[in-house]
Amino acid sequence: MYAIMWSPDGKHIASASGDQTVQIWDATKGWGARIYHGHSKFVLDAEWSPDGKYIASASHDQTVRVWNTATGETIFTYYGHSDQVNTASWSPDGKRIASASTDQTVQIWTVDERNS
């Protein structure tokens, strides 16, 4: 695993993994609750949105994916980096995501609620 983060309610942990998945763990029981598949290379970061409805993941496949935590579906994939994306971070209001890449850029993405 490359990164972990607590959910805003403190009940779950999201992990970013070398097996190309984001995994959601039940923090009270200690077992995996969900596995999100979709990245084609290592997942380097996974971050909960402030409201806990979404997770943004950053990957070696040069993308940022936004996942619906209730369904596990990818609601949007952001393309634009030319090298691996090392981290993704939500704005405090949950309307934007910043991503940082080995391509030496930071990109700001607007979250499109219509896709959720």
Tell me the domain boundaries of the chain. 3-115
Q: Tokens standing for 112?
A: 């499109």
Name the pTM for this structure.
0.91
The string of DSSP letters for 60-86 reads TTSEEEEEETTT--EEEEEE--SS-EE
Q: Tokens standing for 73?
A: 């579906």
Query: What does the chain come to in residues?
Result: 116
- pLDDT value, residue 31: 75
- C-alpha–C-alpha distance, residues 22 and 14, integer Å: 7
| % of the chain exceeding 90 in pLDDT | 87
Summarised one tens digit per residue, pLDDT across range 23-72 is 999 998 877 779 999 999 999 999 999 999 999 999 999 999 999 999 99
Which residues, 6 or more positions from 17, have their beta carbon under 8 angstroms from its beta carbon?
A: 1, 2, 23, 42, 43
- C-alpha–C-alpha distance, residues 35 and 15, integer Å: 10
Q: What are the backbone angles phi and psi of residue 87, rounded to the nearest 5°?
A: -155, 155
**CATH code assigned to 3-115:** 2.130.10.10
